[in-house]
């Protein structure tokens, strides 16, 4: 039997492997995410960072290893139930419903709570009405929190890229996650938008109490918000420490230079 996980270990990954044909995207990855931290995952392109998020959020079945969230084996949880377990994510390429408004995209994020019984839905019982009102109130709170009021009724397709990234963040927050994964949140943002993102991430952790794991290349953002950094290379952990420690680790420098 394995030892008890550390009491503050929200997510525990052990000896994870994930292969696509002959490519071992993840090769013996072990790491812990501690409750309440902002953890940054860095590493060169192809290191397996997105694959790790896909494995944890059940986009792909892993070929080996263990993923425990609050002691529960996520390998047994189907993809559509991941949100209900308190895990949310954003995508490296934004995934939103472009034709729908900001509000509607956020309400879709809340969908996991709209699981009244079918007859309640058909008869529109007070319980269903309450759930819908609650969903709207939650979406309004997130719109306020992320300063999106000006865009509430705009179609996502009409929004500047930076705003779409914030909407995607909002949609993830609407599921009221305990653990939030962000895949390259600063990519495509200008320096000012990146600084703003650092404030959102800080607030998400301190005001909403959400644990954040962020895959990110921008070391200014990583240094500004991360408590801890893990550098991945070739599907496994190469280095771990504070942002400053990991940045000056010769193994990390070599991995980025491809030597």
Residues in contact with Mg ion by CB under 5 A are 49-50
Torsion angle of the four alpha carbons 198, 222, 54, 65, in this order, in degrees rounded to the nearest 10: -140
**51 versus 105: smaller Cβ distance to ligand ADP:** 51
CB of 132 to Mg ion, least distance (A): 36
Residue (of 139, 126, 136, 122) closest to 173 by Cα position: 139
Using a CB cutoff of 8 Å and minimum separation of 24, what contacts does 26-31 make? Answer: 26/51, 26/52, 26/55, 26/62, 26/235, 26/236, 27/234, 27/235, 27/236, 28/65, 28/235, 28/236, 29/65, 29/232, 29/235, 29/236, 29/237, 30/236, 30/237, 31/230, 31/237, 31/240
Query: Residue 12 binds which one of ligand ADP, Mg ion, none, with CB within 5 to 8 A depending on kind?
Result: none
Query: Residue 201 binds which one of Mg ion, ligand ADP, none, with CB within 5 to 8 A depending on kind?
Result: none
CB of 185 to Mg ion, least distance (A): 12
**50 versus 90: smaller Cβ distance to Mg ion:** 50
CB of 20 to ligand ADP, least distance (A): 3
Give the binding site for ligand ADP (CB under 6 A).
20, 23, 25, 43, 45-51
CB of 105 to ligand ADP, least distance (A): 24
**59 versus 208: smaller Cβ distance to ligand ADP:** 59
**12 versus 49: smaller Cβ distance to Mg ion:** 49
Rounded to a whole number of angstroms, the distance between the first and last alpha carbons of the chain is 39
Query: Residue 199 binds which one of ligand ADP, Mg ion, none, with CB within 5 to 8 A depending on kind?
Result: none
Q: How far apart are CA 214 and CA 180, in angstroms?
A: 8
Q: How far apart are CA 222 and CA 240, in angstroms?
A: 13
**121 versus 234: smaller Cβ distance to ligand ADP:** 234
CB of 224 to ligand ADP, least distance (A): 21
């Amino acid at each position: 039997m394995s030892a008890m996980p550390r009491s503050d270990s929200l997510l525990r990954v052990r000896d994870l492997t994930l292969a696509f044909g002959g490519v071992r995207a993840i090769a013996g990855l072990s790491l812990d995410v501690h409750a309440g931290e902002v953890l940054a995952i860095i590493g060169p392109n192809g290191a397996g960072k997105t694959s790790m998020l896909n494995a944890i959020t059940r986009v792909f079945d892993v070929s080996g290893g263990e993923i425990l969230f609050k002691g529960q084996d996520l390998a047994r949880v189907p993809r559509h139930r991941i949100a209900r377990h308190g895990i949310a994510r954003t995508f490296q390429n934004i995934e939103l419903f472009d034709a729908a408004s900001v509000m509607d995209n956020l309400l879709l994020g809340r969908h996991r709570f709209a699981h009244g019984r079918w007859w309640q839905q058909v008869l529109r019982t007070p319980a269903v009405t309450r759930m819908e009102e609650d969903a709207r109130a939650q979406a309004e709170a997130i719109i306020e929190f992320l300063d999106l009021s000006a865009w509430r009724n705009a179609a996502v397709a009409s929004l500047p890229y930076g705003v779409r990234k914030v909407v995607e963040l909002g949609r993830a927050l609407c599921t009221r996650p305990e653990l939030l994964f962000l895949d390259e949140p600063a990519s495509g943002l200008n320096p000012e938008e990146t600084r703003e993102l650092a404030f959102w991430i800080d607030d998400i952790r301190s005001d909403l109490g959400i644990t954040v794991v962020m895959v990110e290349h921008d070391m200014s953002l990583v240094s500004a918000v991360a408590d801890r950094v893990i550098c991945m290379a070739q599907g496994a952990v190469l280095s771990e420490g504070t942002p400053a420690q990991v940045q000056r680790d010769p193994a990390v420098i070599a991995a980025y230079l491809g030597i």
